[in-house]
Amino acid sequence: STTFPSPDQTRILTIANQKGGVGKTTTTVNIAAALATHGLEVLVVDIDPQGNASTALSIDHSTGVDGIYEVLIDDYDISEVVAQSSEFETLKCVPATIDLAGAEIDLVSKVAREMRLHRALTKYLEEQDEAGQRVDYVLIDCPPSLGLLTVNAFVAAREVFIPIQCEYYALEGVSQLLKSIQMIQQHLNQELWISTVLLTMYDGRTRLSAQVAEEVRTHFEDQVLRTVIPRSVRISEAPSYGRTVISYEPSSSGALSYREAAEEISLRGIKNG
């Protein structure tokens, strides 16, 4: 049996790693789905112009659909652009359209350009609170860069969640990521801390995966979840059906491991970093 307690206050996690293809989006949507399956209120914010999280959750993000771009650039409220998942009753998503590709540049001339997501999210979470519909988890899926979109995500969040692929050069770029987080802590968001690290695409047959896992556990210690996500065909094919592996193949090792990782996250609660 599993326990997914509701947190005392909304937890806001930014899923970040400036390397592409490490499992950020896969982790975002599957953790979100696992939490929602247990009745927790979850909001996914897709802040990657690729819109892969929107796709995996089957949320319309075609050109012309209002989404995170309008929130960041045109001062829309999140409540005006948020979409309901058709599959999970307690899961909502702010979609990203390809327009977002221009946002890095369009943001530059905006007032408080690093704070725009923070402001919009704070307003939305307060509205939800007042309506008696408190959000338990916000998961922000970042693009593979440390530009203004990711900065907005860091400023809006309390926790950083770093997926690390069990591959060669896994820790490459991590020092740059840590420096960027330190800069945010010093200047924009003192409360930000790295709460969670998850090993993804683990291949139990290779020595390499075990070596990477050991290296990451040495580096990050307690922040690393005990659960590792195996390399799994089911995980990689689910998005092409607009599904998460949680619902697409609930009994697969991929679904099981993401549910376990979500349970670990929920049991850890909010600690001070």
Binding residues for ligand ADP, rule: CB under 6 A, are 20-26, 52, 144, 200-201, 229, 231-232, 235-236, 239, 254
In sequence order, the 6+-apart residues with CB closer than 8 A to the CB of 164 are 17, 22, 170, 171, 174, 197, 198, 199, 200, 212, 216
Choices 23-31, 120-128, 129-137, 205-213 (CB under 5 A): range interacting with Mg ion = 23-31
The beta strands (E) that lie in the chain are given as: 11-15, 42-46, 83-84, 91-94, 137-141, 159-165, 193-200
**Cα(6)–Cα(4) distance, rounded to whole angstroms?**
7
> Residue with the closest Cβ to Mg ion?
25
Q: CB 254 → ligand ADP: shortest distance, Å?
A: 6
Q: Cβ(29)–Cβ(51) under 8 Å?
A: no
- Of 122 and 264, which has the nearer Cβ to ligand ADP? 264
Q: Which of 10, 14, 52, 195 binds Mg ion (CB under 5 A)?
A: 52
Task: Work out what residue 206 binds among ligand ADP, Mg ion, none; the CB cut-off runs from 5 to 8 Å by kind.
Answer: none
How many residues lie near Mg ion (CB under 5 A)? Answer: 3
CB of 247 to ligand ADP, least distance (A): 15
Q: Give the residue carrying structure tokens 């945010």.
A: 184
Residue 22's binding partner among Mg ion, ligand ADP, none (Cβ under 5 to 8 angstroms by kind) is ligand ADP
What is the C-alpha separation between 111 and 15, in angstroms, rounded?
A: 25
